[in-house]
Structure 1
Amino acid sequence: MKFVIAGGTGFIGDHLSNKLLEQGHDVTILTRYPPKGKSGTMKYVKWLGKGDKPEKEMEDIDCLINLAGRSLNQGRWNEKGKAEILDSRIHSVEELIRIVSKLKTKPKVFINASAIGIYPPSEHAVYTERSENRAEDFLGTVVKKWEEKAKRLNDLQIRTVLARFGVVLAKDGGAYPLLKIPYRLFFGGKIGSGKQWMSWIHIDDVIRALLFIVENEQIKGPVNITAPNPVRMDKFGKTIARVLKRPHWFSVPSNLVKMVLREKSTLVLEGQYVLPETLTTNGFSFLYPNLYSALQHLENIG
């Protein structure tokens, strides 16, 4: 199959493109900054620049995946930073709509990255793709606008999937390398109340889920990309401590986190209990359904 990945040079994009190449697929990466002097089977096409026409390199593709957008962890959430986070997502989808409208043969499926931040933070609610509650904070507003824009691909008769990612765990990126640092230094412990939910997923299951979506034509609309067993933050920390054989004792109060991170503190002090109902009802099987086994694998234990 022929895949095009927008924003494919990032954390998830690297893992996905490597797996696709391993399976023998053709992969084209849309990026602002194509690498120079890099050879191999991966094709890089420049986009989002003045005069760029990536559609010339995208005929007869089977799947278009959009992972583009400024990282939520990059910089402060001041007015400028928040505008860049939103604009980078909206602009990338608008450009993909323009590109696809120019193609003679449309891709069979479009997968747009999204986030479980669309659901309101709660210590008690359980969310699936059928849940209608929407968060009204900054992240929730970004995700809603992002998804509404991506849904316009449906107008072009393309199967559109909104991949709502949870907290992705990997050795080389995402939240885990940062979360385990205090435990390596023997200062790990509860963050805030510890009661906030963390809906996590192992990077290998992220990639497998995306390929599962491509292969199963009945799947469309929102899909929660999370493991089936969310945990509270305190248990998450205790599991890191157990795997690394370190203590879990040092508490970081909510007020301190808010003082340091300000509005961005919601990323660690609030959470949602999100279940991957669409994946499980369609027969997807997780390699790492439980946190302990997932972290053991990341640490090459067991």
Structure 2
Amino acid sequence: MIKRNVLISGGSGFIGRHLTSLLIEKGYSVSILSRSKKQNTAEISYYKWDVATQYIEEDAVLKADFIIHLAGENIAEKRWTKKRKDEILNSREQSTQLIYSVLKKNNKVLEAFVSASAIGIYGAVNGKKICTEETPNANDFLGFTCYKWEESIDFIEYLRIRTVKIRTGLVLGKEDGFLRKLLPIFRWRLGAALGSGKQYMPWIHVDDLCNMYVHALVNPMMAGPYNAAVNDNTNNLLFSKTLAKVLGYSLWLPNVPAFLIKLAMGEMSKIVLTGRRISSEKIERAGFTFKFKNLEEALRDCLRK
């Protein structure tokens, strides 16, 4: 039996690695777009691409039955200078355009194109309003970036390919993702809430996120944007208290003042000092069931050896 092939951009990252393992486990063959040529394995084929020069080994796209598009510069890796903002936006738009150009030139038909997006589309602001997929995008940097990101994905849909946009919250994984920077501090029992601590933190376990991508591949009725975050109204203070509890102690330090975080991170501090409430109703109506909806259980699983 010929296995159906899934091409992943950004496949070597945190989410991509987990997703690759899950797809192989479920019987798919996997191809990965990489900036450097790597040795193929029995289970994974690697193809080179360079978004900056708009180069791609076209066979990667032509052999694919599905594409999962995760590529994009990490928004939390460096301070948001003008140059860095351009890199964040361009990496998302131009990578999608490169794949689109190959699809269009070769009249390639996919069964589905599933792309990462982010709940940042609703903006770096605080508020109690619950954001659904119908909530308008914000006009700040995060909102505009996600809007342009999703707009570039719409060109794939114009090729009559079913497209799905996974608007992702904070991803929790086994000492990786969002937890990677927090754990050293909290393990030294120096963890604390940030700013007011009241900002919401929509989160999702990496296993649920990867299963959501697979669900989007196999469910022909899924199309358009879906929020990928647990709807439990966790805020920063509750998250911090829960993480400390899982590590065996109670928070004892006062909240880190917002002005110190702004001094250290600049405009990027909005990532940790703001947060929206997010609805997961649409993805659950599409038949998806979260394995982890309890924050403490999710964190304990992430920290399990």
Q: SS of 1:262's equivalent? A: helix
The alignment partner of 2:176 has SS state of coil
- Bigger drift between 139-148 and 120-129 goes to 120-129
Q: In structure 2, how many angstroms separate the alpha carbons of the residues matched to 1:196 and 1:17?
A: 33
* Residue number among 290, 293, 299 corresponding to 2:294 in the alignment: 290
Q: Does 1:229 align with 2:224?
A: no
Q: Aligned residues, how many? A: 299
Could you tell me which amino acid in structure 1 is paired with residue 150 of structure 2?
Answer: E
Offset at 1:25? 0.7
Question: Does the aligned pair in 1 maintain the 2:10–2:69 contact within 8 Å?
Answer: yes
Contact 1:163 1:222 in 2 (8 A): yes
Q: Distance in 2 between matches of 1:292 and 1:240?
A: 7
TM superposition shift of 1:51: 7.9
Gap regions ≥5 residues in structure 1: none
Deviation at 1:216, TM superposition (A): 0.9
Q: Contact 1:55–1:102 (CA<8 Å) still a contact in 2?
A: no
Query: Normalising by structure 1, what TM-score?
Result: 0.94
Structure 2: distance between partners of 1:19 and 1:51: 29
Identity %, equivalent residues: 36
Question: For structure 2, which runs of at least 5 residues remain unmatched after alignment?
Answer: none
CA RMSD of aligned residues (A): 1.6
Q: Deviations over 1:186-236 (max 9, x none)?
A: 111211000000000000000111111111111110011112323011000
CA distance in 1, matches of 2:117, 2:60: 26
Q: What amino acid maps onto 1:45 in structure 2?
A: Y
Which residue of the partner structure matches residue 45 of structure 2?
43
Task: Name the SS of the counterpart of 2:6 in structure 1.
Answer: strand
Preserved contact between residue 61 and residue 106 of structure 1 (Cα < 8 Å): no
Does the Cα contact within 8 Å between 2:40 and 2:46 map onto a contact in 1? Answer: no
In structure 2, the partner of 1:3 is 6
The aligned residue for residue 20 of structure 1 is 23
Conserved in 2, the CA contact under 8 Å of 1:55 and 1:103?
no
Q: Residue type of the partner of 1:20? A: L
Whether the aligned pair in 1 keeps the contact of 2:189 and 2:244 (CA below 8 Å) is: no
**Quick one: distance in 1 between partners of 2:270 and 2:238?**
18
Structure 1 residue 105 displacement after superposition: 3.7
Deviations 1:1-55 (A, max 9, x none): 21011121111111101111122211110111133x4633200000126584422
Moved over 3 A (4+): 37-40, 49-53
1:297 & 1:171 partners in 2: Cα distance?
7
**Does structure 1 residue 300 correspond to structure 2 residue 283?**
no
Out of 205-214 and 274-283, give the one that drifted further. 274-283
**What is the TM-score when the length of structure 2 is the normalising length?**
0.93
Query: Secondary structure of 1:82's match?
Result: helix
One-letter code of the match for 1:42?
I
- Distance, in Å, in 1 between the alignment partners of 2:233 and 2:112 is 29
| 1:197 to 2:200 alignment | yes
Q: Report what 1:186 is aligned to.
A: 189
Q: Which residue pairs with 1:219 in the alignment?
A: 222
| Alpha-carbon distance between aligned partners in 1 of 2:43 and 2:54, rounded to the nearest angstrom | 26
- Contact preservation (8 Å) 2:33, 2:60: no
